């Protein structure tokens, strides 16, 4: 069965800020912005936007446990579809200094890390968890118990820091059509 979070719809904006120590003690910063949402049946969409004056969609990750479909829409013309096997759940990762990567926490999976307490984030009570791997990385995230969504996350290594935040949260049920594979894109389907 496909994992899902039901009856907790929302629509929000998110941002990732990746800071890397550069030469001469300078810091290089890269920012990713987008929109994330979930409907009451557990469908999820994460859009990466340009974030410029002429804001437009770059890509959208769609997870539809109702139709048992997971895919990425690139622009408005190409779709990459993942395995329909629910045990082949795709995960978000982030690279570490040594070239390896770690899987980021996901609300559809078992909680990872040591519980560190509660605090309010974006007006919602959150449970905090942390993972420390000495010499490799420190990860801390705050999960809204009401929304079942990670609202803050920080991953730190010796040379990098990545900060994620969800904000401008609205408790609305998105139209299910935004989670459907566009008909015009099906001819560009790439199965992995």
Query: pLDDT tens string for the chain (192 positions)?
Result: 788 999 999 999 999 999 998 777 788 999 999 999 999 999 999 999 988 777 888 899 999 999 888 888 887 667 777 666 655 556 788 999 999 999 899 888 888 999 999 999 999 999 999 999 999 999 999 999 999 999 999 999 999 999 999 999 999 999 989 998 877 654 445 554
- What is the Cα–Cα distance from 166 to 91, expressed in whole angstroms? 18
Please say whether the beta carbons of 65 and 3 come within 8 A: yes
- What is the Cα–Cα distance from 19 to 132, expressed in whole angstroms? 19
Q: What is the pLDDT of residue 187?
A: 43
Q: Provide CATH code, domain 10-191.
A: 2.50.20.10
Please say whether the beta carbons of 58 and 33 come within 8 A: no
Q: What is the pLDDT of residue 180?
A: 87
Q: How far is CA 62 from the centre of its chain?
A: 11
- What are the E-state strand segments in 22-85? 27-38, 44-49, 57-64, 69-74, 78-81
Three-state SS at 185: helix
Query: What is the enclosing helix (H) or strand (E) of 129?
Result: strand 124-133
Query: What is the enclosing helix (H) or strand (E) of 151?
Result: strand 149-156
Q: Which long-range contacts (CB under 8 A, 24 or more apart) does 111-119 make?
A: 111/143, 113/139, 113/140, 113/141, 116/140
Place of tokens 């390896």: 100
Q: Which residue blocks in the chain are alpha helix, DSSP H?
A: none
Closest by CA to 36, choosing from 156, 134, 153, is 153
């Amino acid at each position: 069965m496909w994992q899902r979070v039901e009856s907790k719809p929302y629509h929000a904006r998110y941002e990732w800020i990746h800071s890397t120590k550069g030469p001469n003690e300078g810091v290089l910063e890269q920012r990713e912005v987008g929109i994330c949402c979930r409907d009451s049946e557990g469908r999820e969409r994460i859009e990466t936007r340009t974030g410029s004056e002429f804001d437009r969609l770059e890509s959208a990750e769609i997870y539809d446990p109702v139709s048992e479909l997971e895919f990425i829409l690139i622009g408005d013309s190409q779709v990459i579809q993942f395995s329909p096997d629910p045990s082949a759940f795709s995960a978000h990762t982030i690279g570490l200094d040594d070239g390896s990567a770690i899987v980021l926490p996901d609300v559809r999976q078992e909680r990872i890390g040591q519980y560190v307490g509660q605090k309010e984030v974006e007006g919602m009570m959150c449970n905090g968890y942390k993972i420390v791997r000495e010499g490799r990385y420190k990860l801390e995230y705050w999960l809204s118990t009401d929304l079942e969504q990670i609202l803050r996350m920080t991953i730190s290594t010796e040379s990098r820091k990545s900060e994620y935040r969800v904000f401008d949260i609205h408790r609305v049920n998105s139209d299910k059509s935004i989670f459907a594979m566009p008909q015009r894109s099906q001819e560009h389907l790439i199965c992995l």
